[in-house]
Amino acid sequence: MPNSVEIATNWLVTAGLRPTRQRLALAELLVGDGNHRHVTAESLFESAKDRGAAVSLATVYNTLRAFCDAGVLQEITVDGSKSYFDTNTHDHPHFYHENEARLSDAPSEELVIKQLPTAPDGFEIASVDVVIRLRKV
Ligand SMILES: [Zn+2]
C-alpha cells in the first residue's frame, strides 16, 4: 500500500505539477488517504495549520487554483461566492447542506436530466453543475 506522501506525490506529478513542499502538504491533506473530499480554502487552511504546515490562506487559495487549472480538482460555487473544491473531477451532483454550509456527493445514478435548454448562438454548454440544496425538516 502506498503511503500518503507517495499518493500525494503521484497525484501532483500526474497533474504535471512540481511537488513543492507546500503543494505536497496540501495534496496529502486532499488525497493522501485515497478518499475523495470536498474542501473550502478555509477548511483546508485549518487542517494544514492543525498539521503544523506553515502555509498562509493566500497560498492555500493559489494552490487550490493551480490544482483546478491542472484538472485534478473541480471547483463548485454555491451562492455565487462560496467555493468548494472537489477531488472527484468526474461529473456528479451535489447536496448542499444549508445549515452546515457543507457539500457532499449526491447519488449520480438517481439523477436524470432529460433535456437541456439550447445554448444561445455562438455558445456551447461547457458543463452542467447540479447542486441540490438541503434544509433540515
Ligand atoms: Zn463531489
Please report the domains of the chain, with CATH numbers, ordered by start residue. 4-134 (1.10.10.10)
Say how far apart CA 101 and CA 70 lie, in whole Å. Answer: 26
Q: What is the whole-number distance in angstroms between the Cα of residue 122 and the centre of ligand 1?
A: 30
Cell 480554502: give the residue.
Answer: 41
Spacing, Cα 37 to ligand 1 middle (Å): 7
Q: If you measure from the C-alpha of residue 87 to the centroid of ligand 1, how many angstroms do you get, rounded to a whole number?
A: 7
Distance 52 CA to ligand 1 centre (A): 27
Amino acid identity for residue 76 in this structure: I
pLDDT by residue, tens only, the chain of 137 residues: 789 999 999 999 999 999 999 999 999 999 999 999 999 999 999 999 999 988 999 999 999 999 999 999 999 999 878 899 999 999 899 999 999 999 999 999 999 999 999 999 999 998 888 999 999 99
Cβ atoms < 10 Å from Cβ of 118 = 8
Please enumerate in sequence order all residues whose Cβ is within 8 A of that of 11, keeping only pairs 6 or more positions apart, or say none: 27, 30, 31, 72
Residue 32's φ and ψ, nearest 5 degrees, are -60, -30
